[in-house]
Structure formats: C-alpha cells, structure tokens
C-alpha cells in the first residue's frame, strides 16, 4: 500500500505531497452520473459491489493518494432506528427518537470496505457525522440555515441535550470503530454545521463529547473536518486527532503555524476556482506550495467537496502539479 497519505497524517516525511478530495467519487464523473440515473443514493450505498465501483471511479482519471468509502453522513442513523431520505437538495430525517445504537444494519458497509481493500493500493478513509451535526439533522429534520431549532433546544433543554449527545457520541464511536476494524486506515468526523455555534457553547456542550470519541479511537488515524469555524479554531486545536481539515476561509499559513504544531493539515483550495482556467488555478497552487514548504504534515485537498460539473481535466492538472512539488 502507498503510504504518503498515512505519513503526512502522522507528520512524517512523505515521498510526495498526498492529494485527497472530499466527494472525490461524485457528480463530476460521467460514469457516476449514469449510475445515478439507474440507482438511488440509498441503493448504491446498500449495494457493496456498486458502492465499491463508485469509490474506484475517480482513480480512472486521477492519481489520488487515498480513497474514501461511499456513504453519507447520516447513514449512521439506521443504527439508531431512525430513517431518512436522501434528496437532491439534502437529506430529510424521518424520526426524532434516538434508540440504543446497533451495528447490525451495517453488513453492507463492512462488505464494501472488504471489497475495496482488495482493489486499492492506497489508504481507505471511513467517516460519519460528528455529534453536533448529527443531532442538528435529527432535531431540525433537514438542513436549515444556522439551525435555529437546535440552538434553541440546547439553551432551553441543556440536560436533555447532554443525554442526547452522550447517546449519539457512543454510537458514533462504535460506528467508526466498526469501519476501522473492517479495514479503514483512517476515520473522519464531519462537523459540517458546527459553525452555527458561538464559542462558549461549542466549548462546553460539543467539544467534550467529540473529544471523547477521538480519545476512544486512540491508535487510529483520526481526522476532524468542519466548515465556517474560524471563530472556533482555538477550541478545535485541542482535539486529540492526527489531522484537522480546513476550509478555504482559514488562511493556510495560520493553520500550519498554529494548528500544525500538534496536527497535520488537510486543505484548502476553494473548490469554485476549479471552474476557472488553469493559469488562474496554478497561481493559487503556487501560493499553497510556498506556504507548506518544510511542513511534512500537509495533505493537499479542497476546502470542501468537489462541486458538481467540475472539469475533470482541471482536477487532473491540479493533482499532477501538486505531485511535482519538492518535499
């Protein structure tokens, strides 16, 4: 197995700067779009052969340094006895009662990982939603800007919130451990909506529970990724994880100088720039190239997922350019 991604996660010197994209198996790939005309997201996720095929699609075009399982942030809800629909505009959660977590519904995921470990020569990443993001979907039922009902719930029902976050955190720990034990080389927590919270609230009622998940997975490679959380960065820096993913809003030089003392850094090119001409893209890459010099713990990525209709040729040129960088 190629180890550049693993080495960078551990802040060891890789042979080349590793490249990994969020949503790298997605709606910019023609073959994936064809599959989506024939199958729903849920059907793909629950079909190990099909989901593994989707994970492998980007490797046809791009020389990537890691793969990520094909799933969804909310797949874990099935283990809590909660169903949801995956719609084009976002998921819709159908229940609010959180049952005791069970790993029984996830044989399909274990099988996908088993297939992929035989097919790929790069590390495989497992993932799920972090506690706040997961609970925000359960409470709101769907995406709502700034998650007002969730924030009101926390302020009005702090004791109930603590019971809920303890319960889902235990399930998240089991779910990530299942993925790691099945063969994933790293596990990632996506805290997509943590930026809706102010610092004191996040510090008191989110951080301790997310931290417990990371502590329970000690010995595994652990990644935390959030967006719009510049105001929370001093708190996030306290996580016991190997890698912190940053979006394009956080200056890379600050991330490396501050977060990089204890963590590897994954990020952070703006995904939208990939729609411009490559000369414009190359200028941004040049800035990143200079900033990450002499820092072994850098994983090149976008500041969020690959956008639909992103030109594959630009992605390919980006990967090839980054792999030319001097270590």
Q: What is the pLDDT of residues 202-230, one digit of tens each?
A: 999 999 999 999 999 999 999 999 999 99
Amino acid 10: pLDDT: 98
Q: What percent of the chain has pLDDT over 90?
A: 94
- Residue pair 189/127 in contact by the 8 Å Cβ criterion: yes
Query: Does residue 87 surpass a pLDDT of 80?
Result: no
Beta strands in the chain (DSSP E): 67-68, 84-87, 90-93, 124-129, 186-191, 221-226, 243-245, 264-269, 298-302
Q: Which residue has the higher pLDDT, 199 or 91?
A: 199
Beta strand pairing call for 186-191 and 221-226:
parallel
- Residue pair 84/92 in contact by the 8 Å Cβ criterion: yes
Tell me how far apart the alpha carbons of residues 24 and 244 are, in angstroms, rounded to a whole number: 18
CA neighbours closer than 13 Å in the CB half-sphere of residue 59:
15
Amino acid 96: pLDDT: 83
Query: Does residue 88 surpass a pLDDT of 80?
Result: no
Cα separations in angstroms, 84 against 135, 176, 272: 13, 20, 29
Q: What is the pLDDT of residues 167-201, one digit of tens each?
A: 999 999 999 999 999 999 999 999 999 999 999 99
- Residue pair 226/249 in contact by the 8 Å Cβ criterion: no
Q: What is the pLDDT of residues 94-140, one digit of tens each?
A: 878 899 999 999 999 999 999 999 999 999 999 999 999 999 999 99
Residue 265 phi/psi, 5-degree rounding, is: -120, 130
Amino acid 49: pLDDT: 98
Amino acid 143: pLDDT: 83
- Mean pLDDT (the chain) is 96
Amino acid 86: pLDDT: 82
Q: What is the pLDDT of residues 263-277, one digit of tens each?
A: 999 999 999 999 999
Amino acid 297: pLDDT: 98
């Amino acid at each position: 197995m190629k180890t550049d991604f693993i080495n960078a996660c551990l802040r060891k010197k890789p042979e080349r700067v590793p490249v990994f994209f969020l949503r790298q198996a997605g709606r910019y790939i023609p073959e994936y779009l064809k599959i989506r005309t024939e199958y729903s997201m849920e059907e793909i996720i629950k079909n190990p052969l099909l989901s593994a095929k989707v994970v492998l699609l980007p490797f046809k075009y791009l020389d990537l340094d890691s793969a990520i399982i094909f799933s969804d942030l909310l797949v874990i809800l099935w283990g809590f006895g909660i169903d949801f629909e995956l719609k084009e505009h976002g998921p819709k959660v159908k229940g609010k009662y959180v049952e005791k977590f069970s790993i029984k519904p996830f044989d399909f995921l274990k099988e996908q990982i088993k297939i992929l470990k035989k097919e790929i020569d790069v590390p495989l990443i497992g993932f799920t939603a972090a506690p706040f993001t997961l609970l925000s979907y359960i409470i709101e039922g769907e995406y709502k800007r700034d998650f007002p009902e969730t924030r009101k719930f926390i302020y009005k029902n702090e004791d109930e919130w603590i019971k809920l976050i303890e319960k889902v955190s235990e399930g998240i720990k089991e779910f990530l451990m299942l993925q790691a034990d099945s063969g994933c080389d790293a596990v990632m927590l996506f805290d997509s909506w943590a930026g809706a919270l102010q610092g004191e609230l996040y510090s008191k009622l989110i951080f301790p529970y997310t931290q417990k998940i990371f502590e329970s997975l000690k010995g595994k490679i652990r990644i935390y990724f959030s967006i719009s959380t510049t105001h929370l960065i001093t708190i996030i820096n306290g996580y016991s994880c190997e890698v912190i993913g940053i979006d394009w809003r956080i200056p890379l030089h600050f991330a490396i100088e501050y977060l990089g003392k204890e963590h590897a850094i994954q990020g952070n090119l703006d995904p939208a720039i990939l729609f411009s001409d490559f000369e414009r893209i190359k200028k941004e890459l040049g800035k990143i190239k200079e900033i990450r010099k002499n820092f072994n713990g850098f994983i090149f990525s976008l500041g969020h997922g690959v956008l639909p209709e992103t030109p594959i040729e630009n992605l390919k040129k980006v990967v090839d350019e980054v792999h030319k960088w001097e270590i």
